[in-house]
A and B are shown apart, each in its own frame.
Chain A
Amino acid sequence: MTRRARGIARGAAALGCLLSVSCGAASGALAQAVDSVATEARPFVPGGYDDKPYLTGLFGRIAVGGYIEADAVWERADGVTEEAGFLLKRWNLLTSSRVGNRMQVWAEVEFEDGGSEIVLELAQIDLELHPAINLRGGMLLVPIGRFNLAHDGPRNPFVDRPLLATDVLGSALSMPGFGLFGVVPLGGEARATYEAYAVNGYHDGLLLDSPDGTRLPLGAQNPEDLNASPAMVSRIAWNPGERHELGLSAYGGAYNVFRMDGLDVDERRSVRVLAVDARTTVLGLDWNGEAAAVSVEIPSALTGLFASRQAGFFIDVTRPFGHGWLRGMPEAFLSAGARFEAIDLDRDVDGDSSTQLTAGVNLHPTRGSSLKLDYLRNRTRDRFNNAVEGAALKLSLTTYF
């Protein structure tokens, strides 16, 4: 057996083991598998909550940071200008605080669209029992796919987030919850990570508040579980190296209020999501992609108008270049990339879908900042399957601070 084959076999075995953990069967065998410090030193989610350029030492044990995104947009559909203007899309404050050796608090407050929306996107307490077994509670980033866990503007190679994340899943998707996460070294650079939480879950706003058919984002804000029925979500990821990752996520839970005052008042209807994500570097190109399938149980009197099945994917390819080209900006480099994505918001009809191609060039004055210029071309189909051609030019200036 070659060394690579052994690594794959060990990875597969570890994924199987982690699946059992995410189902709630904590395993003592995990503790025996932990033998590497190097893999623990890597961020749990590269580009995510523990991989930001925090300012430290300002307030004792509290580290502070943030990021900002300012956009200029020119959007047209079928030759008609839909939007031409400027937007302070996000100004986010990030904090982390180590409370003793084994406890850490992370938080992110987001001011969106010029402050018209203020969201506590993340506020979680982590308690380390063992590197492979950590307790987490609070307002969590829901681990459906990788993008939801690592979606900051300075790290996203394009101005917009993928349609799969925004229109299908509702990213940034955070919910109150409680559960376990951990890292399992697999030897060398390889490791596996898992997250498994019970969360409040989507609520029936995905039907009741949506004028356009089933829309999960409209059922995402559930600060108090409206149906007293938690949902389960988990993601396991295999990292054969720092630049490579394969993740698998699953979500399931009831979204409607089916019991009140002890009485059954409706059928129990669920949302289920299955997502797969991957990233790698091949031939100097960074590849990143994600796909998800959604299944929603719909009342029979709404079938035909509200989707019971949705799906989508995106794939990004980017290449950094030009390090050191700019005089006076020694850290600066350029990158170029493209994204192809498609979403189908109702798989039971021919229309209600979108495809989009984005091409972009970025100037990165530092590793944590970007000046992005994107050209987008998309085709959106209504429920009659009639197509609308859209295009946009988008400029964004974003940086961590």
Chain B
Amino acid sequence: MGAWRTRRVTAGVLAAAVCGLGLVACSKLLTTAPEAADLFDSPLEGLSAADRAAFVEGDAQFARPFSIAQGLGPIFNNVSCASCHSGDGRGRPENSLTRFSLGPDPALHLGGPQLQDKAIPGAHAETVPAGVDQSLRLPPPVFGMGLIEAIPEADLLAHADPADSDGDGISGRPNYVLPPEFMAAHLPTGVPALGRFSRKAQVSSILEQTVAAYHQDIGITTDFLPVENSNPLASSATQAADRVADPELSAAAVRSVEAYLRMLAPPAPGGQTPARERGRVVFGAAGCAGCHVPAYRTGAAGIPALANRDVVLYSDLLLHDMGDGLADRRPDGQADGREWRTTPLWGLRVMRDFLNGQMFLLHDGRARSVAEAITAHGGEAAAARDAYLALPESDRSALLDFVESR
């Protein structure tokens, strides 16, 4: 009986060992990684080991949520960068930011240009003042920013046609913006710079966007902007509710996020099919490519992986009048209340994977499909929209399939 038990135990131990080895060997049991091309937070190909290390550090900073004890607030919108940019892609309507102003006046005395609707205990959240111009903004995706930054300015300006001198009805123009004072060490002061980022191309550099987002969205002061953003309509006592010493974040941490954003790769587009190729042709023929310029090529760049690369973003990054339907009647830099920067068409293929199966398109997420977004186009895009609507069903489907494969 004893020998039988010993054999049984031995067999049991061996079986357990085999199972254990099987677990180790079968990586599926310990989860598998999605394809890098299907993600919004993959690094560019060709980065050096040092750049990859910086990428990982920046990723951690980007994902880092702030507690109240760490400096969150006093007024804010969310607790981290990643809290608004789902998987580093776009946000959802409930993460939208409200921008407001009085015409061209950013209404700083009323708490503009952005509504902070959250506040730490002891502080007062802002509410939208009466009589201001307001605009709802869905957080945009943050991948591909380094590639956009590396496109030579002259190449972007080559597509500008402010006076519509070619008579095609499309008059893209650049948004030149004055860099804020905290950028003085990086850009010449008082000299307008070409805006490339954000919904109205009102931001000219990744660093500026990063610093402003920490300050406005999370209420985190940095070496660049060391004074808290507070509710000017609240008492001075409640403005001081955040008792964490400023600056709350070092320049090094901000720069690591800047580097991370610069090195984020856009997701790869879907595979080519005859239908998609047909859709691409129809896309051009309908006039969509007049603003959604298929590709640029980067110039020299500090990071070799960014230099001399094709950037297939389907955008001219210029401002266009999009008509009354999309107008927010709120100027931003040189952009007026009817103008928006052409949104790059990338990442659409996997957007649903990061938004719980849904799509939120256009600046405020109102469109739940590419077709809805196209239909909402107006102004300079009215002709292309009408051309799309006049297409035979098969061509329209091919065009939609092509766009959604981007």
Q: List the interface of chain A (C-beta within 8 A of B).
A: 74, 76-80, 204-205, 207-213, 256, 266, 299, 301-302, 304-305, 322, 324-327, 334, 350, 361, 373, 375, 377, 382-386, 389-393
Report whether A211 and B356 are in contact in the complex, using a CB–CB cutoff of 8 Å. no
Choose the segment among B66-74, B294-302, B322-330 that binds chain A (4+ C-beta atoms closer than 8 Å).
B66-74
Query: Which A residues lie within 8 Å of B122 (CB)?
Result: 266
Contact flag A326-B9 (CB < 8 Å), given A78-B33, A211-B80, A304-B118: yes
Tell me the total A-B contact number using a CB cutoff of 8 A.
103
Q: From residue 111 to 131 of chain B, which have CB atoms closer than 8 A to chain A?
A: 117-125
Residues on the B chain within 8 Å of A392, using CB:
30
Expressed in whole angstroms, the Cα–Cα distance for A204 and B68 within the complex equals 11
Cβ contact within 8 Å between A361 and B120:
no
Chain B proximity of A380: nearest CB distance (Å): 11
Assess whether A361 is in contact with B16, with CB atoms less than 8 Å apart.
Answer: yes
Known contacts: A327-B5, A386-B354. The answer to whether A80 contacts B118 by CB under 8 A is: no
Interface residues of B in 335-378 (CB under 8 A from A): 353-356
Contact of B87 among A74, A326, A386 (CB under 8 A): A386
**CA gap between A304 and B69 in the complex, in Å:** 19
In the complex, 23 of the A-B residue pairs with CB atoms within 8 angstroms, ordered by the A residue number, are A77-B31, A78-B31, A79-B27, A209-B67, A211-B80, A212-B79, A299-B119, A301-B123, A301-B125, A302-B119, A302-B121, A305-B79, A324-B5, A325-B8, A327-B2, A327-B9, A350-B356, A384-B355, A384-B356, A386-B353, A386-B356, A393-B24, A393-B30
Q: Which residues of B contact A334 (CB under 8 A)?
A: 12
Can you name 14 extra interface pairs (CB under 8 A) apart from A301-B117, A327-B5? A78-B31, A79-B31, A205-B69, A211-B72, A301-B120, A304-B118, A305-B78, A325-B8, A327-B2, A384-B354, A386-B86, A386-B354, A391-B29, A393-B24
Alpha-carbon distance between A74 and B27 when the two chains are bound, in angstroms: 12
- Whether B162 is near chain A, meaning CB under 8 Å from some CB there, is no
Chain B residues with Cβ below 8 Å from A209 are 67-69
| Chain A residue with Cβ nearest B123 | A301
Contacts of B108 in A (CB 8 A): none
B118 x A305 contact (CB < 8 A): yes
Interface of chain A: mostly helix, strand, loop or mixed: loop
Interface pair B67/A301, CB less than 8 Å apart: no
Q: What's the nearest-Cβ distance from chain B to residue A264, in Å?
A: 13
Chain B residues with CB under 8 Å of A79's CB are: 27, 30-34
Residues in chain B near residue A211, CB distance under 8 A = 64-67, 70, 72, 79-80
Contact indicator B64/A302 (Cβ below 8 Å): no
Judged by a CB distance under 8 angstroms, whether B276 is at the interface is no
Q: Which residue of B lies closest to A77 (CB)?
A: B31
Q: For the complex, give the distance between the alpha carbons of A390 and B31 in Å.
A: 6
**Which chain A residue has the least Cβ–Cβ distance from B353?**
A386
- Interface size on B, as a range, is 35 or more
B121 and A373 form a contact (CB under 8 A):
no
Nearest-CB distance from B355 to chain A (Å)?
Answer: 7
Once the chains are docked, how many angstroms separate the CA of A361 from the CA of B68? 43
Complex interface: chain B residues within 8 A of A76 (CB):
30-31
CB contact list, B123-164 vs A, under 8 A: 123-125
Cβ-defined contact, B31 with A393, below 8 A: no
Q: A301-B124, A305-B118, A383-B83 are in contact. Are A208 and B67 (CB under 8 A)?
A: yes
User: A212 near B87 (CB under 8 angstroms)?
Assistant: no
A203 to chain B, nearest CB (A): 12
Interface residues of B in 1-57 (CB under 8 A from A): 2, 5-6, 8-9, 12, 16, 20, 23-24, 27, 29-34
Q: How far is the CA of A236 from the CA of B355 in the complex (A)?
A: 44
Q: In the complex, how many angstroms separate the beta carbon of A352 from the nearest chain B beta carbon?
A: 11
- Cα(A350)–Cα(B92), bound, Å: 13
Q: How far is the CA of A210 from the CA of B121 in the complex (A)?
A: 13
Give the CA-CA distance A394 to B364 in the complex, in Å. Answer: 46
Which chain A positions have C-beta within 8 A of B124?
A: 301
* B34 CB contacts on chain A under 8 angstroms: 78-79
CB distance from A243 to the nearest CB of B (A): 27
| B84 to A, closest residue via Cβ | A384
Q: Report B309 CB to chain A, min CB distance, Å.
A: 26
Question: Do B31 and A389 touch across chains, with their CB atoms under 8 A apart?
Answer: yes
Among candidates A77, A256, A325, residue contacting B121 with C-beta atoms closer than 8 Å: A256
CB distance from A112 to the nearest CB of B (A): 22
Q: Which of A302, A324, A382 has the most CB of B within 10 A?
A: A302
Q: Which 8 A-B pairs have the closest CB atoms?
A: A79-B33, A211-B65, A301-B119, A211-B67, A301-B125, A384-B86, A208-B68, A391-B30
Residues from chain B with a CB closer than 8 A to the CB of A326 are 9
Does A207 contact B118, Cβ atoms closer than 8 Å? Answer: no
User: Residues of B contacting A390 with CB < 8 Å?
Assistant: 31
**Distance between Cα atoms of A109 and B29 in the complex (Å):** 38
Cα(A116)–Cα(B175), bound, Å: 54
Which residues of B have CB within 8 Å of A305? 78-79, 118
Q: How far is the CA of A355 from the CA of B29 in the complex (A)?
A: 16
Chain B min CB distance to A389 (Å): 5
> Measured between alpha carbons, how far is A162 from B247 in the docked complex, in Å?
39
Determine if B121 and A299 form an interchain contact, defined as CB atoms under 8 angstroms apart.
yes
Q: Whole-angstrom distance between the alpha carbons of A373 and B72 in the complex? A: 41
With A and B bound together, what is the CA distance between A287 and B9 in angstroms? 26
Q: Hey, what's the 0/1 contact readout for B263-277 against A, CB within 8 Å counting as 1? A: 000000000000000
How far is the CB of B114 from the nearest CB of chain A, in Å? 16
Distance in angstroms between the alpha carbons of A32 and B8 in the assembled complex = 55
Q: How far is the CA of A204 from the CA of B69 in the complex (A)?
A: 11
Q: By the criterion CB–CB under 8 Å, are B31 and A325 in contact? A: no
**Chain B nearest CB, measured from A248 CB (Å):** 33
Shortest Cβ distance from A322 into B: residue: B9
